[in-house]
Amino acid sequence: MIRSKLIAGNWKMNKDIHETVTLVNEIKERVKSLETSPAEASVDIVICPPFISLVVAAGLIKGTQIKLAAQNMYYQNDGAYTGETSARMLKAVGCEYVILGHSERRQYFEETNELINLKIKQALSNKLTPIICVGETLEERVSGVTDQIITTQVKGVLSGLTMQEIEKIVIAYEPVWAIGTGKTATTDQANQVHKLIRKLVSQLYSWAIAEKLIIQYGGSVNAQNAFELLSQSDIDGALVGGACLKSDSFTSIIGSAIEAMKK
């Protein structure tokens, strides 16, 4: 079956409001000339600027094929949670996606699978598509426990999701040791974990659902390695950090997804 490819740019804590305007306008201009529906399925483009730039970015991408995501959210919809932002608020400014459980959130903000699970449920009830990140650390890979770690994370974050809900999620496999380090998983290493994730979802739900699931790869994806990664059978997109901060490398990765789709 042909799945769409999803290319998302995770800006992390980069770009102020002025730089946001410049980068979004550049991406818009470059994306115009791309044919993003080369096959039966399409290449979907998502940008994830910092919270404070979301409203402005939403205005700039109106009427284009670029979609908006937030990088995080809280699991309650309203209330006395100083400094937090809810799914309902993200939806109201035009977000369609939200990244949840990124390894930097797990590492620096102590997010657990349980908390991420609550966030996923709240995102889904507000009709936001969660891009759910999982991935092993270098230590875990070296000690040969990658599969166990991924299994625990996938089961933990998906716990209690219904058949209908599971159809509306995206999973991003991001080996922690490959994030921002310039080290990428080999296409084979990545594809194997993607297959494992698909198998887990088929066991927890059904093969029909697992077959449709979009599983992105993330971790030092750039204009040079994107095509090979995106050509793998089970890699359905990329969650891009560093290389999404420049419009030329980000659109080049989108171009690689289009080429990979034609294969």
When the beta carbons of 126 and 184 are compared against ligand PGA, the nearer one is 184
Q: Least distance in Å: CB of 70 to ligand PGA?
A: 14
Which contacts of 108-114 are long-range, i.e. CB under 8 A and separated by 24 or more positions? 112/156, 113/152, 113/153, 113/156, 113/157, 113/159, 114/156
Q: Are 118 and 76 in contact (CB under 8 A)?
A: no
When the beta carbons of 11 and 205 are compared against ligand PGA, the nearer one is 11
Q: Least distance in Å: CB of 147 to ligand PGA?
A: 21
DSSP string, 188-208: HHHHHHHHHHHHHHHHHS-HH
Which is catalytic among the residues 111, 140, 174, 194?
174
Q: Which two three-digit tokens encode residue 253?
A: 């990765």
At 42, which amino acid appears? S
Q: Least distance in Å: CB of 205 to ligand PGA?
A: 25
Where do contacts with ligand PGA occur on this chain (CB under 6 A)? Answer: 10, 174, 179-180, 218-221, 239-243
Q: Least distance in Å: CB of 108 to ligand PGA?
A: 12
Q: Does residue 136 carry a catalytic annotation? A: no
When the beta carbons of 101 and 218 are compared against ligand PGA, the nearer one is 218
Q: Does residue 174 carry a catalytic annotation? A: yes
Q: Are 222 and 256 in contact (CB under 8 A)?
A: no
What's the CA angle centered on 99, arms 226 and 40, to 5 degrees?
50
Name the residue with the smallest CB distance to ligand PGA.
Answer: 241
When the beta carbons of 31 and 240 are compared against ligand PGA, the nearer one is 240
Torsion sign (Cα): 214, 219, 221, 227:
negative
Q: Tell me which residues are annotated as active site.
A: 102, 174
